[in-house]
Amino acid sequence: MSRRLYWLLLPLLALLLDWGSKQWILALLKDKGSLPVIPGFFHLTLGFNSGAIFGVLATAPMLVRHIVFGVAGLGALGYFGYEFLKEATPNLQRFALGLILGGALGNGLDRIVHGAVVDFLDFIFFGWHYWTFNIADSCIVCGAILMGLSLVIHKPETS
């Protein structure tokens, strides 16, 4: 088996961690809504985001959201999946893409199963209440940061 195929374990692991954490939180908080872990700093708070990042498009008609998220999701999976499996992709970039793919699959699966993304990580910094997020979101953000670092280290050839 090609070594590149072993890399598929990374997005699969990200997807499984995300999905497992969401199933756990749905069972834990179904009747509670929120559970302080470190009061005033970190809570587990069950939320559903029917929109995109920071709730963008949350008030758009359901059909519009389905079309936008479906087209964007399939386009992203196609592009990032191609780059992920390409033989010439450097390992740091492949790792970043694996995190992005796993996160995108996790949030996409939520949209299919729940009609919205399940969020539960809830932080407050010096009185500022940050948006609630999940493991998939963390994978996407960390992957994007690593992708930027990879592009600085491995500058793409220009013609």
Contact 79, 121 (CB under 8 A): no
Contact 138, 107 (CB under 8 A): no
Domain segments of the chain as ranges:
3-35+43-126+134-153
137 in catalytic set: yes
For the chain, what is the radius of gyration of the CA atoms? 17
Residue 102 CA to residue 10 CA, distance in Å, equals 7
119 in catalytic set: yes
- Say which residue, 120 or 80, is predicted with more confidence: 120
Q: Mean pLDDT throughout 5-26?
A: 94
Residue 120 CA to residue 45 CA, distance in Å, equals 5
- Say which residue, 122 or 159, is predicted with more confidence: 122
Task: List the catalytic residue out of 18, 110, 122, 137.
Answer: 137
Instruction: Summarize pLDDT for 68-98 with one digit per residue, the tens.
Output: 877 888 888 888 888 888 888 889 999 999 9
What pLDDT score was predicted for residue 127? 86
What pLDDT score was predicted for residue 4? 67
Residue 132 CA to residue 141 CA, distance in Å, equals 14
Instruction: Summarize pLDDT for 22-80 with one digit per residue, the tens.
Output: 999 999 998 888 999 999 999 999 999 887 766 666 676 777 777 787 788 888 888 88
Average pLDDT, the chain: 88
Ranking 11-25, 72-86, 99-113, 116-130 by mean pLDDT, the lowest is 72-86
Token pair listed for 61: 């008609």
Task: List the catalytic residue out of 18, 110, 119, 122.
Answer: 119
| Residues in Cβ contact with 30 at an 8 Å cutoff, skipping those fewer than 6 apart | 46
